[in-house]
Amino acid sequence: MFKIVEKRKLAENIYEMKIAAERVARAALPGQFVIVRADEGGERIPLTIADYDAEAGTVTIVTQTIGLSTKKICALEAGDYLADFAGPLGRPSEFVHMPIEQLRQRKYLFVAGGVGTAPVYPQVKWLKQHGVECDVIIGAKTKDMLIYTDLMAAQGNVHIATDDGSEGFKGMVTGLMKELVEGEGRRYDECVCIGPMIMMKFVCLTTKPWALQTTVSLNALMVDGTGMCGACRVSVGGKTLFTCVDGPEFDGHQVDFDEAMRRQSMYRNQEKSAMEKYEHHCNCYGK
């Protein structure tokens, strides 16, 4: 059992939780993820680590209520316990293994969408701690859905894009990317993009003509998180890889996003049915 030390609401249906998980906190690196279960009968949910504090023994996760399992997790409060909190899993971001002097010569552009902003944060934070400045684009539908903007601004140069223009650039993150690269002449060695699958697809389509190396983080369907079940398979460069052990970060120009999005929607009907049963149970028994 893993205690929820702190909980706060970041935006509508988006919650941040700080979990007491000393061993995970000591071993975590940027880019890795954990698998969480709300209760003994719960589904295993992969969540990319949003922050970690080895000294305090805590790991931060950010969850959006999309389906039944995430709703159960977000319903818990500070002082409650998660049944499972396994990790850190997956490979850390490649830059953590680069020689520092080489790393400091590189210029990074991070593109974060929605809750994908949270896992971008520890990467930008780690780079700042090692003397590497980054530009960060944070995108959301509206101003009210933006998260981590102040935290991120303390670590990198933040640019905001909202679909409705309620804050920052009006339009998609790809439009702001073009403004920075084509309009202002900024040059980058790598783009790191984390967010909705469709957003990552179009970011990669935008960077490909620029020959800009683009890394994406895939949060696929998972069961065990160790490569044994094959549930999180994804096609990268014509090869079948597993998100849990080969990723979660991949060369975005090699990812078959259309296949990945089809796989994401495979269990939509089952998820809808499970939510209906859960809500019926809550209405009947007042839970």
Q: String of b and e for 2-30 (b: at least 16 CB within 10 Å)?
A: bebbebeebbeebbbbbbbbeebbeebbb
Residue 42's pLDDT band, with cuts at 50, 70 and 90, is confident
Is 278 or 10 the better-scoring residue by pLDDT? 10
Give the Cα separation of 247 and 249 in Å (integer). 5
**Mean residue pLDDT across the chain:** 89
CA angle 285, 286, 287 (to 5 degrees): 95
Average pLDDT, stretch 36-62? 91
Residue 80 predicted with pLDDT over 50: yes
Task: Determine the pLDDT at residue 83.
Answer: 93
- Residues written for the chain: 287
Give the Cα separation of 36 and 49 in Å (integer). 11
Residue 41 to residues 47, 60, 64, 69, 101, Cα–Cα distance (Å):
18, 23, 20, 10, 48
Task: Determine the pLDDT at residue 285.
Answer: 53
pLDDT tens digit string along 175-222? 999 999 999 999 999 999 999 999 999 999 999 999 999 999 987 667
Q: What domains can be seen in the chain, in order of their start residue?
A: 2-89 (2.40.30.10), 94-217 (3.40.50.80), 219-287 (no CATH)
Residue 67 predicted with pLDDT over 60: yes
Is 26 or 265 the better-scoring residue by pLDDT? 26
What pTM did the predictor assign? 0.87
Is 46 or 225 the better-scoring residue by pLDDT? 46
Name the least confident of 9-13, 106-110, 243-247.
243-247
Average pLDDT, stretch 43-60? 92
7: closest CA among 72, 69, 68, 60?
Answer: 60
Share of the chain above pLDDT 90, in %: 73
Task: Determine the pLDDT at residue 272.
Answer: 53
pLDDT tens digit string along 112-135? 999 999 999 999 999 999 999 899
Task: Determine the pLDDT at residue 280.
Answer: 44
pLDDT tens digit string along 225-262? 777 777 788 899 999 998 888 889 999 999 999 988 88
Do strands 14-20 and 2-11 pair parallel, antiparallel, or not at all (unpaired)?
Answer: antiparallel
